[in-house]
Amino acid sequence: MSTYDDLNKIKELLDAGVLTQEEFDTQKEILLKTSIEEEPEPSQVNQQNSTQPQGNDERKSKLAAGLLGIFLGSLGIHNFYLGNTSKALIQLLVSVVLCWTFIAPIGMAIWGLIEGIMILSGSITTDAKGIPLKE
């Protein structure tokens, strides 16, 4: 909850007569002091809001993700690489648990092949965090 919401709540309590003006002023000062202490420094804000990290590049390789999808897509390795853990686990479990059917692993391989091609062609452009893939 934001400081603004907290201030509105204690203002409502003041208006309702639950708090005195003195109690309201005390609570307001406490809220404002804690909100100033919790504010990150401008350098931290810039690092958190940046879509392209500076220095340590967190972006995943488009080529690596595409090739993983084409060659190991039936096991969901490309989705693990991109951070799509739920989708990757589904591909892995279906391939491993239903490997005796031969149809499920082939279906997962086709799924991985299609996603690998989509990654390489540019249809899939970001990882699970929304960070763009690097060329």
Going residue by residue through the chain (135 aa), what tens digit of pLDDT does each one get?
577 788 888 888 888 888 888 888 888 888 787 777 665 555 554 555 555 545 567 899 999 999 999 999 999 999 999 999 999 999 999 999 998 898 998 999 999 999 999 999 999 999 999 999 998
Q: φ, ψ for residue 83 (rounded to 5)?
A: 90, 5
Is residue 66 located within the same domain as residue 28? no
The contacts of residue 128 (CB under 8 Å, 6+ apart) are 82, 83, 84, 85
Q: How many domains does the chain have?
A: 2
Q: Is residue 54 part of a domain?
A: no
What is the domain range of residue 101?
A: 62-121
Q: Is residue 133 part of a domain?
A: no
Does residue 79 sit in the same domain as residue 106?
yes
Q: Is the overall model pTM greater than 0.85, yes or no? A: no
95 shares a domain with 70: yes
Task: Evaluate whether residue 105 is within a structural domain.
Answer: yes
Give the separation between CA 93 and CA 36, rounded to whole angstroms: 48
User: What b/e readout covers 105-126, taking b as 16+ CB neighbours within 10 angstroms?
Assistant: bebbbebbeebbeebbeeebee
105: Cβ–Cβ under 8 A, 6 or more apart, which residues? 74, 94, 95, 98, 99
Query: Within a domain: residue 79?
Result: yes
What tokens appear for 97 in the block? Answer: 């648990």
* Residue 83 and residue 36 share a domain: no
